[in-house]
Homo-oligomer: A and B are copies of this chain.
Amino acid sequence: VIPIVTLLTDFGAGSGYPAQMKGVLLARAPDARLVDVSHEVPAYDVLAGALLLEACVPWFPSRAIHLAVVDPGVGTARRPLCVVDAEGRRLVGPDNGLFTPFLDGARAYALDALPPPASPTFHGRDLFAPAAALLALGAEPASLGPPVPDPLRLPWPRATRDRELVRGEVLTADPFGNLLTSVRAADLPREVASVEVAGRAARWVRTFGEGTPGELLALVGSSGRLEIAVREGSAARALAAPRGAAVVARLVGAG
């Protein structure tokens, strides 16, 4: 079976840094299939990287290896990590919370068995890519270094519910300007009557096409999260709703 290695970074696809990682991967694991998840994670935004991994990783075969580098602390004491999640998926990158969505029931290993990275500023190329190449060649995660019992977790944005009110917050915007929120489909056990974001009303719909162009909409998006959208427009531009802005969904019937 051909190994798959995905790549996610905040380096910029055209910067040459992802290409250097791919050169290292192909020099060591010539058969690996390389797939870009994203190189446009906002610089140093570990939470945005973690959310993107959460949205994308489950769609790949579980044998895929996920190489992810959003690493403001590169060169400091933060540990390098290989995580094996509860589904057997393998993720390689810095121990800074980037793998938070995958840590329940996971095992993790430091990468101490690898040669120290040549560059103190580019562990993606000099440490994480070689580790992913070893996995692609069949190495056991436990052979890469000692177990890490307590990988770092980000405070994870969730929704809270108080009777008919479900409260959450804005997380990120996608390139269409759709705002993803911390409210998940599972947080909405009944029909939604109305949604308010950053103090403005959004109409609850099932799909973008139900809106009129320009109208502010709320729906469960393809990631299973409540999203705020404008049909054929940008909710990010229409609203002043940065990360952390309040989102409130009111459920129908008080129950």
Binding site for B on A (CB under 8 A): 1-2, 4, 6, 11-17, 19-20, 22-24, 26-27, 30-31, 33-41, 43-44, 52, 55-61, 64, 72-76, 119-122, 125-126, 174-176, 206-210, 219, 221-222, 231-232
Contact = CB atoms under 8 A, between A and B. Distances in A.
Contacts of A40: 12-15
Contact of A121 (B1, B39, B72, B208): B208
The interface residues of chain A, by DSSP majority, are classed as loop
Nearest to A1: B30
A149 to B, nearest CB: 24
B209 A75 contact: yes
A6 B26 CA distance: 12
A54 to B, nearest CB: 10
A73 B232 CA distance: 9
B209 A26 contact: no
Contact of A219 (B22, B30, B38, B121): B121
Name the 5 nearest CB pairs between A and B, nearest first. Answer: A14-B40, A75-B207, A23-B59, A12-B175, A122-B222
A8 to B, nearest CB: 8
Contact of A74 (B27, B120, B174, B208): B208
A22 B34 contact: no
A186 to B, nearest CB: 15
Contacts of A55: 16, 20
A185 to B, nearest CB: 10
Instruction: Identify which of A6, A16, A60, A74 gathers the most chain B CB atoms within 10 Å of its CB.
Output: A16
A210 B121 CA distance: 11
Contacts of A33: 26
Contact of A207 (B19, B27, B121): B121
Given A40-B14, A120-B207, A222-B121, A35 B26 contact: yes
A235 to B, nearest CB: 12
A175 B37 contact: no
A151 B2 CA distance: 38
9 contacts: A4-B26, A16-B56, A17-B222, A19-B36, A19-B59, A20-B55, A20-B59, A76-B210, A122-B222
Contacts of A207: 74-76, 120-121
A253 to B, nearest CB: 24
Given A1-B30, A61-B26, A74-B209, A37 B16 contact: yes
